[in-house]
Amino acid sequence: MSDLINIRLTKDCPSVQAMDEAAKALGMSRNEMMIKAIKMFIGFDATFYKRLEAYSQKVKVPMHIAIQNTIIKRWAQDNAKKVVWEINKDLLLEFSLCSEGIIGPKELYEMIYQMTFAEEAKERIAELEQEVSQGLELKGSDKVFYETYKSKYGYTPDLKQTTQDESMAYWQEELK
């Protein structure tokens, strides 16, 4: 038999009626809903939870709204790309596999951060290079960013290797 847990609802808790209505709308019992909620929270990485809590406070919305709206935003972006390109070409890196299973939260964060930083830095450097080419002087954080990252993310000309026409001699002496 499973362990029995009794909980006492606090004044901050939704009412039993609100819980029952939410469970019914989700197509489950109140008990199933609570168990799923517990499983979800147990599955959260501790750092993720703390960051989620801080993020939801920063944007002044409850955690469930922060999670829900972030995922909805991603789904909308994915679907729009699919409609435009007839397929979403983005790799779902958040579900990458490694030797331990699905990539861990820390590794995922670092990987996505580095990739996004590189993309955004290239875009910002391109904008700053445009300003420099127009004769504008960079100042403050723009100048610091440009000087720090221009060598890594700045414009590099495409050096396409051209081949000689095989039917034509390269040296004049070979024409004879």
pLDDT, one tens digit per residue, over 14-50 is 999 999 999 999 999 999 999 999 999 999 999 999 9
d(CA 125, CA 9): 54
Residues recorded for the chain? 176
| Average pLDDT over all residues of the chain | 87
d(CA 31, CA 20): 9
What residues are paired with 98 via a beta bridge? 101
Is the pTM of the predicted complex or chain greater than 0.95?
no
The beta strands (E) that lie in 26-142 are given as 97-98, 101-102
Q: Kindly report, residue by residue over 145-163, the tens digit of the pLDDT.
A: 999 999 998 877 666 655 5
Give the pLDDT of residue 171: 47
Weakest-pLDDT range from 8-12, 34-38, 48-52, 97-101: 97-101
pLDDT tops 90 at residue 88: no
Give the H or E element holding residue 9: none
Give the pLDDT of residue 21: 97
User: Cα 142 from chain centroid?
Assistant: 24
